[in-house]
Chains A and B, each alone.
Chain A
Amino acid sequence: MTPELGYAATVAALILAVYGSGAAALSAVKGRADLRRSSERAAVGVWLLVMTCMALLIYAFLTFDFSVRYVAGNTNLGTPFYYRITAVWGALEGSIILWAFMLSIYTLIVMARYRRTQPQLYPWVLAVMLGISAFFLLVMAIPAPPFERLSPIPADGRGLNPLLEDSGMITHPVALYLGFTGFTVPFAFAMAALIIGRTGDEWITITRRWTIVAWYFLSLGLLIGGWWSYHVLGWGGYWAWDPVENAAFMPWLTGTAFLHSVMIQERRRMLKLWNLTLIILTFSLTLFGTFLTRSGIIGSVHAFSQGSVGQFFLGFLALIVLGAFSLLAWRLERLHAQGELDSIVSRESAFLLNNLFLVAAAFTVFFGTVFPLLSEAVKGQKVSVGAPFFNLVNIPIFLALIFLMGVGPLIAWRRASAENLRRNFLTPVAIGIAAAAICRLLGVANALVLLCLALVVFVAATIALDFARAARARRRTGDGWLDATWGLALRQNRRYGGFVVHLGILVVALGVAGSQAWSTQTEATLNRGESMELAGYTIRFDGLQGVEESNHAKVVGTFTVSDRKGPYTVLTPAKKFYPQEQTPIAAVDYRLGFMEDLYLVLGEFARDGSHATIKIQVNRMVSWLWIGGFLLTLGAALAIVPEPRRTPAVARAGQTAAA
């Protein structure tokens, strides 16, 4: 029954979404409130139906309903309970449901929030969002049906991709998709603004917080993805410039650019065309990312299965990009800037440079990602560009961005005077240079690390300086230090949230620089009882043990580790053998530390346990990535929190008196 029910719900949701989108558009054109109400009911219906699909699929997974092809393909009787739920989005078809589900939730929130306050924009926003939902439902109905029936019903399923049996997979796709789908909201508002020709600042103001929401989730998704890569894939890295990682990184870059350039539009009425272009690009890149993962046109470690899904996505991508840019071209004369750039030395130009670099980074990542295609089309050769290309091109860009991160928030608008520059930047520049010099004297020889360090310290100093000044100003009004700090963070939460994000990025940057420069590794074959040394650790191989799990067998190695101070820990890296996989999967074991992680991967071994090959890595400062990442998301969360209403002092006094 489940396949039929699920399919019926999918088709019904598709019909409702198409109808709702059309009705919302028509209601805007004709000004008919009844149609608008009807389209709202359709949106609620879509949400209910997609939720039903989600619930049915979860139920099918929990009850091992192998009459559903997707369930049989992604689970087996040995799959543990919690992974049967995450298996729902473990492959193509289910991930599309998750996508549609999140989009339907965003649609409802937008509906609840703006149906009264934005009577003109809102119907078009609803039309665009429901139209996009309709596309995903179409994918669920035709090329990637999650509820396809399987006949005859097999006795057992194939099982989940073992790499996805990890806690990171519970949260990573959810965060990532909340980010991806989140960009639908600003995109829909941008389209609505273009359609009704109100290309002023209204849509920008509304969508700014939404963009931060999407950005927050996308950042979280990227971070958890890096953590998953680090502790599951067993190669000791967190970022490989794999096409799928790039696919999620590109919208992050353009989204970040957008978050900054909207500030210029708010302040100076400039860059309207640019902001619209950025949001169209960002949303298109989220679709491109999905297209890339689902079409199989570029080889990747994460790629989902192939099929006609790719063609559907490409068609939709073409429709969105061509449609949105045509709309932009049509409204071009309304997008002239009202402000002008007064001086090269100003906050505007710092932000423009920031945008330029971010978009350049997005472009190089795009270029590198599609390069295999380009090369095959032009020269008939399959060539990939790997990490060396991306690192070479992007390291200077990111260093420049860090520098601008220090300049942008403090330099004056319009035209910075020499006094403004001296007052804001002299001390931080001196501190940055001094920090690098001290580290050089302490023995840090890597020039790139020193440069990165100088920049990071410079930026941190600008933030500290700004914060100290503002807090001092508040303290003069009588608040204590703690109140002053806390009050600032809350009152100007967008600014200070931004600063916390910047601090997070600085910590991440140090983590990247340190881990690239100072990590070390070795590989050795040890007999039982034999020891080896690396970077102050002594690692002894104590033997192997076979363990039978519900859905796989594993061989666990025991390694006793001591450091300079004595016994440190016992690590048990393993190799897992899944019947459905051709190659065994390494299960790494590690001890995380603030300055360095010890990371063990079990390689080949003798069946009798007499010897084993072990890869040992000492990864330096990788924890800084997770700490910085936490700060970054914390800052983004702070920036999302609504600013407290500014109640006039008199009214506040009155309230106190009444209380």
Chain B
Amino acid sequence: MSGRSRILRWAIPLAVVPVLVLLAYGFRTDPRDIPSPLLGRPASPFKLTAFDGKPVALESLRGQVVVVNFWASWCYPACYEEAPSLERAWKTYKDRGLMMVGVNFQDKDEPARRFLTQFGHTFPNAPDPAGRVSVDYGVYGVPETYFIDRKGRVRFKQVGPVSDQMLKDQIERLLAEEA
């Protein structure tokens, strides 16, 4: 066999390498990662009644950094994983200008309350019976968390559970900004 065909024969296995590289590239992208059109836009206002009966309104929170977290008791395990982090962040930053609101998404009253008791949430949590707020924010699934700056604009959206570190990064960045 000549030298040329000796090289040529390896062309067959080598030909598939670019395809494999392309597929490997696929791991660096996320087909579902479509940026929220709400980023940089004013957050839509809402008025809800919390589980404890108190009103929660976004309008009255202007000037504060607001974290809106959408959750459900049936959202296992993601919502259960992030719940302690949310409560920790709330305790750390509530006196420094942070407001946190939990919006309960397509849930039943009793298991939702059980969830809140289980994690001892002290920040306001409200059901969204008509699903209005979820639709306004374009919630695709739970958990999703929106970070709103002091001027009332949505600045960051997290799809999936939040972590301590990420809450810290986002909240501190927004707290550092002027109203």
Give residues in A with beta carbon < 8 Å to B.
69, 72-73, 150, 154, 157-159, 277, 291, 295-299, 310-311, 314, 317-318, 321-322, 325-326, 328-329, 332-333, 370, 372-374, 376-377, 382, 579-580, 582
Instruction: Mark out the residues of chain B between 1 and 28 whose CB falls within 8 Å of any chain A CB in the assembled complex.
Output: 1, 5, 9-10, 12-13, 16-17, 19-20, 22-27
B107 / chain A contacts, CB cutoff of 8 Å: 579
Whether B140 pairs with A582 at a CB distance below 8 angstroms is yes
Interface of chain B, main secondary structure: loop
Write the chain B residue with the least CB distance to A72: B76
Whether A373 pairs with B29 at a CB distance below 8 angstroms is yes
Interface assignment of B34: CB less than 8 Å from any CB of chain A: yes
A150 / chain B contacts, CB cutoff of 8 Å: 77
B105 / chain A contacts, CB cutoff of 8 Å: 582
Write the chain A residue with the least CB distance to B131: A582
Which of B12, B16, B26 touches A298 (beta carbons < 8 Å)? B26
Interface assignment of B94: CB less than 8 Å from any CB of chain A: no
Whether A332 pairs with B20 at a CB distance below 8 angstroms is no
Whether B74 pairs with A326 at a CB distance below 8 angstroms is no
Whether A372 pairs with B13 at a CB distance below 8 angstroms is no
Whether B27 pairs with A295 at a CB distance below 8 angstroms is yes
A-B contact pairs, 5 of them (CB 8 A): A298-B31, A314-B24, A317-B20, A329-B12, A329-B13
Q: Contacts A72-B76, A329-B9, A579-B106 known; A374 to B22 CB distance under 8 Å?
A: yes
Q: How far is the CA of A333 from the CA of B1 in the complex (A)?
A: 8
Q: Contacts A329-B10, A582-B140 known; A322 to B25 CB distance under 8 Å?
A: no
Write the chain A residue with the least CB distance to B10: A329
Whether A582 pairs with B141 at a CB distance below 8 angstroms is yes
Whether B20 pairs with A373 at a CB distance below 8 angstroms is no
Whether B26 pairs with A373 at a CB distance below 8 angstroms is yes
Write the chain A residue with the least CB distance to B32: A299
Q: Contacts A318-B20, A325-B12, A333-B1 known; A310 to B141 CB distance under 8 Å?
A: no
| A334 CB to nearest chain B CB (Å) | 11
| A420 CB to nearest chain B CB (Å) | 37
Q: How far is the CA of A310 from the CA of B23 in the complex (A)?
A: 10
| B16 CB to nearest chain A CB (Å) | 5
A72 / chain B contacts, CB cutoff of 8 Å: 76
A297 / chain B contacts, CB cutoff of 8 Å: 23, 26-27, 29, 31
| B20 CB to nearest chain A CB (Å) | 5
* 12 additional A-B residue pairs with CB within 8 Å, beyond A291-B23, A311-B27, A579-B74: A277-B12, A295-B26, A296-B30, A298-B26, A310-B27, A317-B20, A318-B20, A328-B13, A329-B9, A329-B13, A332-B5, A333-B1
Q: How far is the CA of A297 from the CA of B10 in the complex (A)?
A: 29
Write the chain B residue with the least CB distance to A380: B29
B74 / chain A contacts, CB cutoff of 8 Å: 158-159, 579-580
User: Which of A157, A159, A296, A582 has most B Cβ within 10 Å?
Assistant: A582
Q: Mark B131-151, 1 if CB is under 8 A from A, else 0.
A: 000000001111000000000
Give residues in B with beta carbon < 8 Å to A.
1, 5, 9-10, 12-13, 16-17, 19-20, 22-27, 29-32, 34, 74-77, 105-108, 139-142
B25 / chain A contacts, CB cutoff of 8 Å: 373, 377
B10 / chain A contacts, CB cutoff of 8 Å: 326, 329
Q: How far is the CA of A377 from the CA of B26 in the complex (A)?
A: 9
Q: How far is the CA of A531 from the CA of B23 in the complex (A)?
A: 52
Write the chain B residue with the least CB distance to A311: B27
Which 9 pairs across A and B sit closest by C-beta, in order of nearness?
Answer: A297-B26, A299-B31, A325-B13, A329-B9, A332-B9, A326-B13, A580-B74, A325-B12, A321-B16
Whether A325 pairs with B26 at a CB distance below 8 angstroms is no
Which of A291, A298, A322 touches B13 (beta carbons < 8 Å)? A322
Write the chain A residue with the least CB distance to B31: A299
Q: How far is the CA of A157 from the CA of B19 in the complex (A)?
A: 40
Whether A154 pairs with B22 at a CB distance below 8 angstroms is no
Q: Contacts A72-B76, A296-B31, A329-B9 known; A377 to B22 CB distance under 8 Å?
A: yes
Whether B76 pairs with A370 at a CB distance below 8 angstroms is no
Q: How far is the CA of A158 from the CA of B26 in the complex (A)?
A: 29
User: Which of B76, B77, B107, B140 has most A Cβ within 10 Å?
Assistant: B76
Q: How far is the CA of A238 from the CA of B140 in the complex (A)?
A: 26
Which of B30, B76, B108 touches A73 (beta carbons < 8 Å)? B76
| B44 CB to nearest chain A CB (Å) | 18
Q: How far is the CA of A314 from the CA of B12 in the complex (A)?
A: 19
A377 / chain B contacts, CB cutoff of 8 Å: 22, 25
Whether A370 pairs with B23 at a CB distance below 8 angstroms is yes
Write the chain A residue with the least CB distance to B5: A332
B139 / chain A contacts, CB cutoff of 8 Å: 582
Whether A314 pairs with B31 at a CB distance below 8 angstroms is no
Q: How far is the CA of A311 from the CA of B108 in the complex (A)?
A: 39
Whether A370 pairs with B140 at a CB distance below 8 angstroms is no
Whether B108 pairs with A579 at a CB distance below 8 angstroms is yes
Q: How far is the CA of A296 from the CA of B24 in the complex (A)?
A: 12
Whether A321 pairs with B26 at a CB distance below 8 angstroms is no
Q: How far is the CA of A277 from the CA of B12 in the complex (A)?
A: 10
User: Which of B5, B9, B32, B107 has most A Cβ within 10 Å?
Assistant: B9
| A296 CB to nearest chain B CB (Å) | 7
User: Which of A72, A159, A291, A326 has most B Cβ within 10 Å?
Assistant: A326
Q: How far is the CA of A298 from the CA of B32 in the complex (A)?
A: 9
| B115 CB to nearest chain A CB (Å) | 11
Q: How far is the CA of A69 from the CA of B81 in the complex (A)?
A: 14
A291 / chain B contacts, CB cutoff of 8 Å: 23
| A321 CB to nearest chain B CB (Å) | 5
Write the chain B residue with the least CB distance to A66: B76
| A339 CB to nearest chain B CB (Å) | 21
User: Which of B17, B24, B27, B31 has most A Cβ within 10 Å?
Assistant: B31
Write the chain A residue with the least CB distance to B74: A580
Q: How far is the CA of A314 from the CA of B76 in the complex (A)?
A: 29
Write the chain B residue with the least CB distance to A370: B22
Write the chain B residue with the least CB distance to A579: B74
User: Which of B10, B29, B32 has most A Cβ within 10 Å?
Assistant: B29
Whether B30 pairs with A314 at a CB distance below 8 angstroms is no
B140 / chain A contacts, CB cutoff of 8 Å: 582
| B152 CB to nearest chain A CB (Å) | 26
Q: How far is the CA of A159 from the CA of B76 in the complex (A)?
A: 10
Write the chain A residue with the least CB distance to B1: A333
B23 / chain A contacts, CB cutoff of 8 Å: 291, 297, 314, 317, 370, 373
Q: How far is the CA of A30 from the CA of B139 in the complex (A)?
A: 63
User: Which of B1, B16, B108, B142 has most A Cβ within 10 Å?
Assistant: B16
Write the chain B residue with the least CB distance to A577: B106
Write the chain B residue with the least CB distance to A373: B26
Q: How far is the CA of A154 from the CA of B76 in the complex (A)?
A: 9
Whether A382 pairs with B31 at a CB distance below 8 angstroms is yes
B141 / chain A contacts, CB cutoff of 8 Å: 582
Write the chain A residue with the least CB distance to B134: A582
| B22 CB to nearest chain A CB (Å) | 6
| A449 CB to nearest chain B CB (Å) | 36
Write the chain A residue with the least CB distance to B140: A582
Write the chain A residue with the least CB distance to B9: A329
Q: How far is the CA of A329 from the CA of B7 in the complex (A)?
A: 10
| B27 CB to nearest chain A CB (Å) | 6
A321 / chain B contacts, CB cutoff of 8 Å: 13, 16, 20
| A78 CB to nearest chain B CB (Å) | 12
User: Which of B10, B30, B74 has most A Cβ within 10 Å?
Assistant: B74
Whether A373 pairs with B22 at a CB distance below 8 angstroms is yes
| A585 CB to nearest chain B CB (Å) | 13
A332 / chain B contacts, CB cutoff of 8 Å: 1, 5, 9
